[in-house]
Amino acid sequence: MAVAIIIAGGSGTRMGQDIPKQFINIYDKPILLYTLEGFQKHPLIDAIEVVCLDGWHDILRAYAKQFNISKLKWIVSGGSSGQESIRNGVYNLEGKVSEDEIIVIHDGIRPLVEETVLTDVIRKSQQYGNAVTSLPYNEQIFVVDDELSTIKYIPRETLRRVSTPQAYRFDLLDSKYHEAFEKKIGIYGSHYTNTMMVELGVRLYFASGSDKNIKLTTKDDLEMFKAYLKTEKDNWLK
């Protein structure tokens, strides 16, 4: 079984809205609640923790009650960066979960995570101690030589796109976050748990991903999300 940490501490400035993007309503439901429903319904998820912006905790609790997210156990304040937010979520679980518990980390603004993807990342992490969802690259990848040109490419067969969900044994996850923040390794800029782990010498294992598992960061992403929802609704009606 597993515990989920849902990261919802961002302010969503790129979306250009007055409220955090994870709380934007799509068809009368906040984006974050679509994400939480996926974890609520999954049989291998025991409990959910959300790392949330200050000032939105009570609103989140109200939404969780409204949409029957009974697995929500903890709401934790986010930090000043993505890695600080994840760290806060991890540290809050100290003394609350067992050392061998599988912890699934997921972006709150990836609401289309599929049951099969969650199952595979949990099963792989139970087998290897960690797992990251991944997909092959389908395009050609070139290295920028200057702003206008390139003279080098990277064979796409050697690359994988990695996103969330990611899963780790709690003892590994907790110890590496303590080490990272003590040594100031893998915690700045665009670093995430997976890149931090590699910088600290951990071998990561690939799990199955899905192109449908998009991250909602722009208005165009919202339109794509709406299209996915409408497609699913139409298929259900047939």
> How many C-alpha atoms does 121 have within 13 Å on its Cβ side?
32
103 compared with 9, residue with greater pLDDT: 103
CATH, domain range 2-132+161-237: 3.90.550.10
pLDDT tens column, 65-93: 999 999 999 999 999 999 999 999 999 99
Whether the Cβ atoms of residue 26 and residue 230 lie closer than 8 Å to each other = no
Domain ranges of the chain: 2-132+161-237
Positive or negative CA dihedral for 43, 83, 215, 233?
Answer: positive
pLDDT in tens, 31-49: 999 999 999 999 999 999 9
Q: Which tokens go with 25?
A: 């309503």
Q: What is the pLDDT of residues 161-208, one digit of tens each?
A: 999 999 999 999 999 999 999 999 999 998 999 999 999 999 999 999
Q: What is the C-alpha to C-alpha distance for residues 44 and 34, in angstroms, rounded to an integer?
A: 18
**E-strand spans in the chain?**
2-8, 45-52, 72-77, 102-107, 130-136, 141-143, 152-154, 160-169, 206-208
Which amino acid makes up residue 155?
P
Q: What is the per-residue pLDDT for 231?
A: 82
Q: What is the DSSP letter of 217?
A: -
Whether pLDDT at 235 is above 60: no
Nearest to 47 by CA among 8, 86, 75: 75
- The whole-number pLDDT of residue 18 equals 75
How far is residue 148 from each of residues 139, 140, 153, measured CA to CA in Å? 19, 17, 15
